[in-house]
């Protein structure tokens, strides 16, 4: 690994390109979502649900594309399949990048990992994988309900903390 650049470092060192900033035109208060799913059927189903929930969606075709999109925009929701653009689900570049974010940034991103290895809403495994929620593809028909519940729980959990930050002038 001497001198070998990881995909995360490679994307971070790329020259600035304005086309890498997909949401310069969105008004404030509009939620954005990054979708990293290779399976066309799952991708389509998830995308439709997100559109119904009024998210502005960026669909990435590769980890490199996802990392470039995350370079200049903090998404409110990131949905990533653990097998997205990798042979080893434990070495997913998108998830690794999210793990490396500072807590002040990461706390504002709700991360959903699609996994056929773990059961839906397995909180211990979600904690282990540094994501907010796990959804098994077998439960994709209930995706909307699962996501809404997970986001509501997350907002309730961080509500007092975020209010305290605002009062201290740091939120």
Question: How far is the C-alpha of 160 from the C-alpha of 153, rounded, in Å?
Answer: 13
* Helix/strand/coil (H/E/C) assignment for every residue in 36-78: ECCCHHHHHHHHHHHHHCCCEEEECCCHHHHHHHHHHCCCCEE
Each residue of 24-65: pLDDT tens digit? 555 667 899 999 999 999 999 999 999 999 999 999 999 999
Whether pTM exceeds 0.75: yes
CA atoms within 13 A on the CB side of 125: 17
| Token duo for residue 171 | 């939120």
What the block records as the tokens of 63 is 């980890």
Domain ranges of the chain: 30-167
More confident residue, 159 or 119: 119
81 phi/psi in degrees, rounded to 5: -75, 135
Pick the CATH number of 30-167 from 2.40.30.70, 3.40.50.2300, 1.10.3720.10, 3.40.50.1360: 3.40.50.2300
Higher pLDDT, 46 or 10: 46
Backbone angles phi and psi of 112, in degrees to 5: -115, 125
Percentage, residues of the chain above pLDDT 70: 83
């Amino acid at each position: 690994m001497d001198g070998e650049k990881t995909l995360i470092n490679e994307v971070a060192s790329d020259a600035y390109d304005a086309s890498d900033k997909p949401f310069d035109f969105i008004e404030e208060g509009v939620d954005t979502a990054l979708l990293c799913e290779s399976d066309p059927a799952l991708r389509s189903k998830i995308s439709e649900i997100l559109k119904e929930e009024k998210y502005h969606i960026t669909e990435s075709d590769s980890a490199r594309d996802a990392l470039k999109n995350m370079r200049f925009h903090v998404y409110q929701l990131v949905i990533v399949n653990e097998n997205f653009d990798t042979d080893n689900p434990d070495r997913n570049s998108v998830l690794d990048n999210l793990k490396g974010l500072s807590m002040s940034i990461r706390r504002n991103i709700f991360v959903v990992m699609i996994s056929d290895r773990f059961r839906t809403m397995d909180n211990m495994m979600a904690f282990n994988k540094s994501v907010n929620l796990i959804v098994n593809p077998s439960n994709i028909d209930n995706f909307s309900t699962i996501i809404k519940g997970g986001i509501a729980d997350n907002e309730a959990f961080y509500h007092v903390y975020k209010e305290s930050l605002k009062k201290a002038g740091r939120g």
